[in-house]
Structure 1
Amino acid sequence: MIGFQTTGMIYLIPAIIFAMYAQNKVKGTFSKYLRIASRKGYTGREVARMILDDHNLQSIPIETSQGYLSDHYDPRNRILRLSKEVYQGTSIAAVSVAAHEVGHALQHANGYTPLTIRNSIFPIASFGSSMAWFFVIGGFIFDSLNLIDVGILLYLAAVLFQVVTLPVEFNASSQAIHLLGAGGFITQDEKPHSKKVLNAAALTYVAAMATALAQLMRLILIRNRRS
């Protein structure tokens, strides 16, 4: 059992450390620019509402969400949810995050292919990430490579979800910078600060992908060792 627990940890440990760094980076960067007010003085909600309306998306409501850094666009219900700090805030961080989430709404409205793929594989990816290890452990208990293979295939869906998430997030951030500048919501010299906020957030998705890939490699090594 000790071998089962330690197999492939050489891949997983660096990914976990990277993920911890990414989380600290986004929290630190967000907290820093949450204290720096944008010169134009728009709130995150105002920025989101004006951009949505400019793109004929008046039907998408904007709600507050509970929790810190809980901002997201809900494609199923077509609702934009912003955390209290972003919804009410006039900081560089607030308007940047708000514009980023609007970017996802625009992706959805325009049928952005990576987002469509991500939404379509989400159910199986969610199931796979939570159930993969049950099949792998079951394969060990019942001495069945087939069960282990099922677990690996299930987890592969979770990995694919993380991989396709990267272009979705990077595209939303790229749109956010353009929308903020074109709409006059931030000044030219505030753009680098906005990019720092969004780049830090993107780092967490890179870390999530790295962790998922490392975990997949670990599962494959466990399977090969068992065979």
Structure 2
Amino acid sequence: MILDPFYLLIVIGTTLLAMWASWRVKHAYNQYSQVPARSGVSGAQIAQRILDLNGIHDVAVVPTQGLLSDHYDPANKKLVLCEENYHGTNVAALGVAAHEAGHAIQHKQLYAPLQWRMAAVGITTVAGNIIPFLGMGLLWVAPKIAIPVLAVCFGIVMVFQLITLPVEFDATARAKKILAHTGAVAPGAETAAMSKVLDAAALTYVAAFISALGTFLYYVMHMMGGQRDEE
């Protein structure tokens, strides 16, 4: 199988998009993590307050190393904040903490897209493990077998990324509403700065979906083209 220039275009294009999205969120975070919140509360404190206000008492707020490694772990009921956001009292830290708390609220309320994403983690992990094996080996030896399998695998990844979009957008919307309600982030400049951080972070998920979609469509077109050649 000859290396396809169209595939290289997809790879380069989506890689540049991902790099731009990553740069934008880091730039926004670095800029607005310098803006202190007048409330003086830390990311850990606002996360715990949000959990308490929503009657969530079985989720632990814990610190971890690695900048922007924040996440909600539904399996172990942990709201994990990087140390900068766990201890930070700036608007970026509060925004990220509230966003992750939004996922905990989703979990308690059985928010459907989150339930779908949790259910899809296993099969998406399997598909992700298969892709490198096929791309580095079987694709060149037996493309008629590898291409359909790759189309299915990238289709699974694409659907997972698609489901992730409403999960993340909803958590961001919840974070903005909750922070305004609690007064942890003041109206005006503080709220605008916090929103820019969360909106930039949302772009990384859009970029991931576009990347998966583009690659999925590429292999589908290859598969359909191969079928037409055989007719």
TM over 0.5: yes
CA shift for structure 1 position 53: 0.7
Contact 2:148 2:219 in 1 (8 A): no
CA shift for structure 1 position 194: 1.2
Contact 1:125 1:158 in 2 (8 A): yes
Could you tell me how far apart the structure 1 residues matched to 2:145 and 2:204 are? 33
Could you tell me how far apart the structure 2 residues matched to 1:105 and 1:36 are? 26
When the two structures are superposed, what TM-score results if normalisation uses the length of structure 2?
0.91
Unaligned stretches of 5+ residues in structure 2 = none
Could you tell me how far apart the structure 2 residues matched to 1:135 and 1:40 are? 53
Matched, 1:217 2:217: yes
In structure 1, the residue matched to 2:148 is 149
In structure 2, the residue matched to 1:64 is 63
CA shift for structure 1 position 5: 5.0
Contact 1:71 1:101 in 2 (8 A): yes
In structure 2, the residue matched to 1:206 is 206
CA shift for structure 1 position 76: 0.5
In structure 2, the residue matched to 1:197 is 197
| CA deviation string 1:131-160 (max 9, x = no partner) | 1343454254135x2442122112211111
Unaligned stretches of 5+ residues in structure 1 = none
- In the TM superposition, 1:122-137 aligns within 5 A as 122-135=121-134, 137=137
Matched, 1:84 2:83: yes
- Does 132-141 or 33-42 show the bigger shift? 132-141
Contact 2:14 2:210 in 1 (8 A): yes
Could you tell me how far apart the structure 2 residues matched to 1:56 and 1:126 are? 32
CA shift for structure 1 position 60: 0.8
Q: Which runs of 4+ in 1 moved over 6 A?
A: none
CA shift for structure 1 position 10: 2.5
Matched, 1:52 2:69: no
CA shift for structure 1 position 11: 2.8
RMSD over aligned CA atoms reads: 1.7
CA shift for structure 1 position 89: 0.3
Contact 1:114 1:164 in 2 (8 A): yes
Could you tell me how far apart the structure 2 residues matched to 1:43 and 1:119 are? 29
- In the TM superposition, 1:24-43 aligns within 5 A as 24-43=23-42
Could you tell me how far apart the structure 2 residues matched to 1:218 and 1:117 are? 25
Query: Alignment partner of 2:3: what SS?
Result: helix
Letter in 2 for 1:183: T
In structure 2, the residue matched to 1:23 is 22
CA shift for structure 1 position 126: 1.6
Contact 1:73 1:80 in 2 (8 A): yes
In structure 1, the residue matched to 2:185 is 186
CA shift for structure 1 position 78: 0.8
Letter in 2 for 1:204: T
Could you tell me how far apart the structure 2 residues matched to 1:5 and 1:27 are? 33
Contact 1:40 1:186 in 2 (8 A): yes
Letter in 2 for 1:141: V
Query: Alignment partner of 1:63: what SS?
Result: strand
- Does 165-174 or 147-156 show the bigger shift? 147-156
CA shift for structure 1 position 7: 4.1
CA shift for structure 1 position 58: 1.8
When the two structures are superposed, what TM-score results if normalisation uses the length of structure 1?
0.93
- Does 212-221 or 129-138 show the bigger shift? 129-138
Query: Alignment partner of 1:8: what SS?
Result: helix
Letter in 2 for 1:218: Y
